[in-house]
Structure 1
Amino acid sequence: MSLPISLPSSIDVAVIGAGSSGISAARRLAKAGVSVVVLEARDRIGGRAFTKAREGIPLDLGCGWLHSADENVLCGIGRDAGFTIDETAPPWGRQAFNLGITPEEQVAFGEAWAAFDERVAEAAARGDDGPASTLFTPGGRWNARMDAISGAANGAKFGDLSILDYDAYEDSGINYRVVEGYGALIAALGAEAPVVLDCAVRRIDRSGARLMIETSRGTVEAQSLILTLPTSILASEGVRFDPPLPDLVEAAAGAPLGLASKLHMALHGWEEFPKDGQLWGRTDTAQTAGYHLRPFGRPIIEGYFGGDLAWGLEAEGEAAFFDFACSELADLLGSSFPKRLRALSTSMWGAEPFSLGAYSHVPPGQGDRLTGARARLRRPIEDRIFVAGEATSSNFYGTCHGAWMEGERAAVEAITALGVDPRLSDPEAH
């Protein structure tokens, strides 16, 4: 829980959004002795990192994996903050009980995926950009399954992804989790940040020497501004700039949010299932979900729904996720299996007004590192408006630690613009 503070009338730097990026930026600014306030529209901090307890179990409705954990700055920060980092390998590469897919088919799928990745890397090395799906094997047996996994991993199918942007993502293959919850970690890291909750930013007047930021709680004047809002909010002009910033709106539209939704279900008779097992519903369609069995050994199943499937189910309402999961799991585990399940929580990031999606992807033609959407988003505006978030990360987009690192990057830019040497407050710089 962040410290309750009032909206100041004047500040050096205002940060909009108290997610991973906003919290990181605020911490870095405070370290430099810069006065800062974080303006958050929700009644909580964390953004799309959100842990909710159900029946004593911490459930991550947003990000849950410390991707590239051997390089992930939040692993060390989390341990230092007293959180438990679980190093159990994810179950993504196997199917529990070999249901619906033989061991030989699982090997064949792994080979098809590796060959696709190699074609992507070769095309990117040539500078080719286009839909990543053009590098599928025509009529390939595993194309639909790859799109299903892309839906969960990228929030969109491969036909919607830029070859260059997809190739730019860096993945060490090491993935850990936070036992107490990834969202709980981010909330703890922001506990002492100067955050004003329930403070929606409506308009930013940039016509004067200082920025005038109009919020639902009043107006604050700032020398500089760090925007950590989702691209969906920026593209839809959920926050209005006067004079307008059409280039920012266009860049945000070039890195739209896809959707990945989660459904947590209590499981009766959980003992017969493997700890950290994995099931995918079907292999012949992208309209299928992945099911993590007994994460951390807990008596639950965590369902993942991505891309078009997630958008369609969200449009029908929360109950549609549970109905879909029951149908798929009944096909795999027997018609009576749904009687053993009970819905605990469902994420609805696409419908949530302060996110309107889960995480960003870049469409074909927008993926160049120097001129593409992410690079354009990172460019400072008038040396006093800086944009940060997972969408501005060229190599760790879609991740909590990517957002964290981008928050620090934007903070250093803001500190420098104020005439302060950021190295003086950064022990790692010496």
Structure 2
Amino acid sequence: MPGDNGRGAEKDVVIIGAGAAGIAAARRLQAIRPDLSILLLEAGDRLGGRAWSVGLPEAGDIALDLGCGWLHGARTNAWTAIAGEVGLAVDHTPAPWNGGRRLQRDDAETHAARAAIGDYFERLESHEGDDTDLAEMLEPGNSWNGQIRAIGTYITGAELERSSVLDYNRYDPGPGPDWRVRQGYGTLICRYGRPVATRLGVEVTRVNHRHAGRIDIQTNQGGLSARAVLVTVSTNVLAAGKIVFDPPLPEKIEAAARLPLGLADKLFLRLANQQALPADTHMLGSISRGATGTYQLRPLGAAVVEAYFAGDLAHDLEREGKEAAFAFAGDELAAAFGADIRKELSVAAMSAWAAAPHIGGSYSYAEPGASDLRSRLAAPHDQRIFFAGEACSRSRYSTAHGAYETGVAAADLLDGSFSRKA
């Protein structure tokens, strides 16, 4: 698998979306309800959703993640244990924010920047009163606001003016540190999904729940019916109305629209001479402006550079293409290592999550005043249509383990609904 040749058949449960949440829900139902027929539908051509690992000759036996890459809150992250169960290796090299190696000067300017950033996040965490946007917590005229904006944009995938302080303060990925899967986070999630009956390339266009006894599902490859449906597609897909609910579910569409996906794209650069850069070292492209990349030099020792762009900068570079992204990254790396470093670099791979037709972005953020809508999005409708995905998580949104947890929770609710009807 994946594979399921049935056409037009009735299933007990149809799950829409084969990302972390959909796969987690399917595996949970397989474990607790082996009597149910379960089918996973995926509009794309692979399992994993926003988790996607690629292999490159330059990286040897290490896979590189074009989507989620860090096991955040790794000690209690469910995917950490699953990695061992499916035969993958978890690497414990510290992340830059967990004490890993950073390329930065130890001077008065660096200490001033660090203090300003710390003060900003303390203001966020101590904020009381009405919800507001993250930009409201900036000190007007602070010379380090550019670097603060860059960091905030990496966190949410959007500019500070768009993102909720309350939602930021609810974020809790669990106890660290953060680790990586050597063969790739995307490889892990894909491998975990293999035992699930799946149809790839199936785009759901309509969910008709007018009938009491069944839900009719229309797709680009025909129709089928189910007793229950679990929707795990991204908020951008829901908000765009790509799946029509009949009767409509306006409260879900509104919640999705106010929990949009931010954007973070990755550019992997080949490094001809791996000795030209230090291994597993992090650097920020610019310490003064918000539109800058963040760089992991030789992640896991591979002969590559992982460049990470977020927010409006990511949108601009994605539209302009690989050459523009390469030129931007080359300029920032040359400023740190000299102009000759460009001769060592070439484009290996680049993500384009905003343009991904069945996804439309990277991870959700809440607009000011919208954080509580995560619970509204997650709530079942009529105990027959269920919802899961990272955007449904109150505290672990934007993470693959948050998606996993919402998938398992939805599966348990679905099981309870079936048990009451039995």
Structure-2-length-normalised TM-score: 0.94
State which drifts further: 331-340 or 62-71.
331-340
| Of 139-148 and 308-317, the range deviating more from structure 2 | 139-148
Matched residue type, 1:400: A
CA contact (8 A) 1:5 1:195 kept: no
Query: Which amino acid in the other structure matches residue 402 of structure 1?
Result: G
For 1:97 and 1:66, the matched residues in 2 are separated by: 23
Superposition CA RMSD, Å: 1.8
Deviation (angstroms), 1:112? 2.5
Is the 8 Å Cα contact of residues 322 and 347 (structure 2) preserved in structure 1?
Answer: no
Worse-superposed segment, 76-85 or 390-399: 76-85
Specify which of 324, 331, 349 is matched with residue 327 of structure 1: 331
Structure 2 residue 87 is matched with structure 1 residue 85: no
Tell whether 2:259 aligns with 1:255. Answer: yes
Question: Is the aligned partner of 1:314 residue 2:335?
Answer: no
Q: Are 1:185 and 2:198 matched, yes or no?
A: no
Q: Which amino acid aligns with 2:46?
A: R
| 2:175 aligned with 1:206 | no
**What is the total number of aligned residue pairs between the two structures?**
414
Cα distance in 1 for partners of 2:137, 2:249 equals 36
Q: What secondary structure does 1:350 align onto? A: helix
Q: What's the secondary structure of 1:226's corresponding residue?
A: strand
1:279-290 correspondence runs (5 A): 279-290=283-294
Residues 64-103 of structure 1 mapped to structure 2, 5 A cutoff? 64-92=69-97, 96-98=102-104, 101-103=105-107
2:415 aligns to what?
Answer: 415
1-structure distance, mates of 2:87, 2:100: 32
The offset of 1:35, in angstroms, is: 1.7
Contact 1:170 1:396 in 2 (8 A): yes
Q: Give the match for residue 107 of structure 1.
A: 111
Contact 1:150 1:158 in 2 (8 A): yes
Distance 2:108 2:406 in 1: 42
Structure 1 residue 336: Cα displacement: 2.2
Partners in 2 of 1:95 and 1:275 — Cα distance? 9
Determine what percentage of the aligned residue pairs are the same residue. 40
Measure the CA separation in 1 of the matches of 2:405 and 2:8: 27
How many Å separate the matches in 2 of 1:206 and 1:420? 19
Please state how far the C-alpha of 1:364 moved relative to its aligned partner.
Answer: 1.0
Aligned equivalents of 1:271, 1:373: Cα separation in 2: 49
Residue in 1 aligned with 2:199? Answer: 196
Give TM-score, length-normalised by structure 1.
0.92
Tell me, in whole angstroms, the C-alpha distance in 2 between the residues paired with 1:107 and 1:95.
17
Counterparts of 1:420 and 1:339, CA distance in 2? 66
8 Å Cα contact 1:260/1:307 also seen in 2? yes
Q: 1:376 to 1:194 in 2, by over 3 A?
A: same
Answer yes or no: is the 8 Å Cα contact 1:277–1:293 preserved in 2.
yes
Q: Which residue of 2 aligns with 1:51?
A: 53
- Distance in 2 (CA, whole Å) between partners of 1:105 and 1:378 is 45
Decide whether aligned partners of structure 1 residues 105 and 3 sit closer, same or farther in structure 2, where only a CA change above 3 A counts. Answer: farther
Output one character per residue of 1:297-322: Cα deviation in whole Å (capped at 9) or x when no partner.
11110000000100111121232211
Check conservation: 2:101, 2:280, Cα contact below 8 A: no
Contact map agreement 1:261 1:348 (CA 8 A) in 2: yes
Q: Which runs of 4+ in 1 moved over 6 A?
A: none
Is this contact kept in 1: 2:8–2:222, CA < 8 A? Answer: no
Residue 330 of structure 1 aligns with an amino acid whose one-letter code is A
- The gaps in structure 2 that reach 5 residues or longer are none
**Preserved contact between residue 270 and residue 347 of structure 2 (Cα < 8 Å):** yes
Residue in 2 that maps onto 1:133:
135
Q: Are positions 1:153 and 2:155 aligned together?
A: yes
